[in-house]
Amino acid sequence: MIELQKYSKIDEEHLLKRVTAKHQDSRLKVIGYATVALVVTLSAVTYQIGHSIMMSADERALKVFQGDANSETMTAFVNFISESGRNYKDEAETARRYRNFKANHAIVQRTKEHEHHMPHKISINTKFADLSAAEFLSMVSGGASVPESVMSPLAQDGKSLFSVRNEYVPLFDKVEGELPESKNWFQEGFVGAPQDQFAAGTSQCASSWAFSTVSTLQAGAAISGGQAKTELSVQQLIDCDTANNGCQGGWSYKGYAYTSKYGLMPKSEYAAYSGAQGQCAYDETKAVVKNTGMVQERYLSNDRLKSLVAKQPVSSGMVITDLFRLYESGILLEDTLQCSDAKKTINHQVTIVGYGKSDKKAIEGSWCDQYWLVMNSWGTNWGEQGFFRLCMDGAGSSRIPFGTCQINRFPTYASFD
């Protein structure tokens, strides 16, 4: 334990310098200390629970499980199983899941003392509470690294259907006209409730690209006035869009290329979402929404991206890190997530449905001025009823070149004219 304390102290000093180097006022340093506490806690808890060379992983997990029979953490775990409907196959798996849950529970408990200084909250009451960081990242990315040919930006191909804009990273863009101070397409009724890519019981379907494509098409068609809002089939896109890789990942721009040619059928007219790629059952006579083209922007300033979102929801790739699994509410920051390095690989697709300004009185200690309102595809029992807020401050800087978690890097949307 002495060695662990020494390691944590050194690590904390290193992380604190990294997090607070550019923030000179005391309020920002408080946020830096809170961020350090969260990261160091993860290392400490993992060490304390898992460090043993005498037992197998299953034996260690079972020992922890049996030793905590009447603990507060065990009570929370039992409640989690009941509320989430988990059904573990045997005692060994139950013990492993408890071990992960205990580590996550400790992270949440130790972070609570700093919570009033943070602009977001984490919680053990999340659907991913029994997953390790590695398991979570494997789950949301489909269990394997996505092929470069799948997770790649649109190349210029000379086709009039497609448009690519911007090849640089502007700190500022001139935007014509006044932008509304805030926007929320969900509240305005053009965006449906967040769907769940894991609802079918599978844990390895990286179909976020399909959910984002469908949600933006539904909204875009309704906003353009051409068609009433209709729930469209995500499963059709997974089954039939051969340019993407179904449950192995994809990009919305390829999805828009498919829908511009074939259109999408209503959800009610196609097979239910299965969390797996099946045989295509497309029926041209039942397709109800078809876009005329698409645009993939590149490297946008916040103002330019806001001008797009003010017109319609926008699909965008981003980098998901392990701390997303415990997110409950509030505005997520780069200092906590460490997701904005340009070298990190985009591993998830989301829908930007709005933006707004943070309420600094309501969020004590928040230094984030503006945020993106983002719809995820993990169901309504995660985050803010399926949504999360992502700080937009710093986009275009050397530290956050493409926005927080690279969300400004490849925004894409369908056109209907």
Q: How do residues 225-264 score in pLDDT, each as one tens digit?
A: 866 678 999 999 999 999 999 999 999 999 999 999 999 9
Model pTM score: 0.80
- One domain, residues 77 and 167: no
**Sign of the Cα pseudo-torsion (350, 352, 357, 361, in order):** negative
Total domain count for the chain? 2
State residue 417's pLDDT score.
Answer: 79
Domain limit, last residue, from 64, 94, 118: 118
Calpha distance 122→381 (Å, rounded): 14
Q: Is residue 405 part of a domain?
A: yes
- Clarify whether residues 370 and 260 are in a common domain: yes
pLDDT of residue 174: 56
- One domain for residues 350 and 293: yes
Is residue 114 located within the same domain as residue 185?
no
Q: What is the pLDDT of residues 272-281, one digit of tens each?
A: 999 999 999 9
The domain that holds 260 is classified in CATH as 3.90.70.10
Render pLDDT for 322-350 as a digit per residue (tens, 0 to 9).
999 999 999 999 988 999 999 999 999 99
Please check whether residue 150 lies inside any domain of the structure: no
Whether residue 208 lies inside any domain: the answer is yes
pLDDT given at position 24: 41
Give a yes or no: residue 6 inside a domain: yes
Q: What percent of the chain stands above pLDDT 70?
A: 72
Q: Is residue 37 part of a domain?
A: yes
Length of the chain: 417
Considering the domain architecture, whether residues 43 and 174 belong to the same structural domain is answered as: no
HEC profile for 149-173?
A: CCCCCCCCCCCCCEEEECCCCCCCC
The overall average pLDDT reported for the chain is 80
Q: Which domain holds residue 169?
A: 162-415
pLDDT tens by residue, 184-201 = 999 999 999 999 999 877
Q: What is the DSSP string of 16-37?
A: HHHHHTT--SHHHHHHHHHHHH
Average pLDDT over residues 297-305: 91
260 Cβ contact partners less than 8 Å away, ≥ 6 residues apart: 161, 290, 291, 292, 293, 294, 414
Q: End of a domain among 63, 94, 118?
A: 118
* Calpha distance 384→330 (Å, rounded): 8
pLDDT at residue 150 greater than cutoff 90: no
- Check residue 52 and give its pLDDT: 42
| Whether residue 104 sits in one domain with residue 43 | yes
Q: Are residues 114 and 216 in the same domain?
A: no
Using alpha carbons, select from 341, 391, 353 the residue that is nearest to residue 370: 391
pLDDT at 207: 94
For the segment 74-129, what is each residue's pLDDT rounded down to a tens digit? 999 999 998 888 889 888 899 899 999 999 999 999 888 777 778 889 999 889 99
Same domain (yes/no): 102, 170:
no
Q: In angstroms, what CA-CA distances link 231 with 4, 109, 173, 216, 287?
A: 53, 40, 35, 11, 12
pLDDT at position 76: 92
User: Is residue 129 one of the residues assigned to a domain?
Assistant: no
Q: Does 176 lie in the same domain as 65?
A: no
My answer on whether 102 and 189 are in the same domain is: no
205 and 81 both lie in a single domain: no
Whether residue 272 is found in the same domain as residue 392: yes
Average pLDDT over residues 286-299: 92
Last residue of a domain, one of 82, 99, 118: 118
